[in-house]
């Protein structure tokens, strides 16, 4: 996903380290996607689908995947579910879930998968942002469960563990871990923006937008966790 520290928090990680709402789109209407994709990733996303069909596909596939994953004890099945974007392609996953509201199961899964994809593609930037933000967000760091002074491999491990938790543990806890992870990244993005303010005002502005997008994604994931616990995330 992108890098240059621009983006992950909403639909396009191209604006800031965790997410700006940037992101291109494969023609037609833009997806209402979390800002976790950078422009290069966003270019892979498809265009319009019939709204009723899109909604049916989203809910059917999301529920089927979660049910299947939580019903199995085969770690290889879970590993394949975690690696869904690598095996099926971002455009396929986007076609299923990218337009789903954040307070739905497919919308929450989309945010988790796009966050993991950003981490997978640009772990160095993610690790750097996390290290910058962790001192100012210690509570979120504890929830996220990232090792001290993480490197690229460490943030990849956390992203995989969060998605594995969707299928093998408490889904609400997985959502809360992802939300906390985004909050720390948002803090790191904001710090980076401050450092760039004099040297590169344009980059600083992109980082600031990305930080805001990450905060929004974190809030959406935390809300989804609440809904799951209440039996209302559908």
Query: In this prediction, what percent of the chain has a pLDDT beyond 70?
Result: 77
Structure tokens at 49: 């689908």
CA dihedral 54, 60, 66, 71 (to 10 degrees): -160
* Model pLDDT, residue 19: 35
Alpha carbon separation from 7 to 1, 123, 169, 186, 207 (Å, rounded): 8, 12, 28, 10, 7
> What pTM does this model have?
0.79
Structure tokens at 222: 């935390």
Provide mean pLDDT across the span 5-19: 36
Distance CA 9, CA 185 (A): 9
Which comes out higher in pLDDT, residue 43 or 232?
Answer: 232
Residue with tokens 């265009």: 47
* Model pLDDT, residue 47: 53
Note the pLDDT tens digit of each residue in 145-203: 998 999 999 999 999 999 999 999 999 999 999 999 999 999 998 887 766 776 777 77
Provide mean pLDDT across the span 42-51: 56
List the one residue out of 94, 89, 84 whose CA is nearest residue 23.
94
Question: How does residue 12 score in pLDDT terms, banded at 50, 70 and 90?
Answer: very low
Contact 25, 47 (CB under 8 A): yes
* Model pLDDT, residue 191: 81
Contact 10, 32 (CB under 8 A): no
Residue 65: how many CB atoms within 10 A of its CB?
18
Nearest-10 crossing angle of helices 123-134, 171-196: 80
* Model pLDDT, residue 155: 96
Question: How does residue 48 score in pLDDT terms, banded at 50, 70 and 90?
Answer: low
Mean pLDDT of the chain: 81
Q: How many Å from the N-terminal Cα to the C-terminal Cα in the chain?
A: 28
């Amino acid at each position: 996903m992108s890098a240059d520290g621009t983006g992950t928090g909403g639909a396009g990680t191209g604006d800031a380290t965790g997410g700006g709402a940037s992101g291109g789109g494969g023609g037609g209407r833009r997806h209402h996607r979390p800002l976790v994709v950078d422009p290069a990733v966003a270019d892979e996303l498809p265009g319009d689908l019939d709204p009723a069909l899109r909604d049916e596909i989203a809910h059917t596939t999301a529920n089927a995947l979660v049910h299947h994953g939580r019903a199995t004890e085969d770690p290889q099945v879970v590993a394949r579910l975690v690696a869904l974007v690598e095996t099926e392609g971002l455009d396929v996953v986007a076609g299923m879930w990218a337009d789903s509201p954040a307070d739905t199961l497919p919308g929450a899964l989309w945010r988790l998968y796009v966050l993991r994809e950003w981490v997978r593609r640009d772990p160095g930037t993610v690790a750097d942002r996390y290290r910058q933000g962790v001192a100012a967000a210690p509570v979120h760091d504890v929830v996220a469960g990232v090792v001290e002074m993480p490197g690229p491999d460490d943030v990849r491990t956390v992203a995989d563990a969060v998605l594995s938790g969707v299928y093998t543990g408490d889904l609400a806890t997985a959502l809360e871990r992802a939300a906390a992870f985004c909050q720390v990244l948002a803090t790191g993005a904001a710090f980076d923006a401050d450092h760039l303010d004099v040297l590169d005002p344009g980059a600083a502005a992109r980082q600031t937008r990305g930080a805001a997008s990450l905060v929004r994604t974190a809030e959406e994931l935390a809300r989804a966790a609440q809904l799951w616990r209440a039996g209302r995330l559908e």
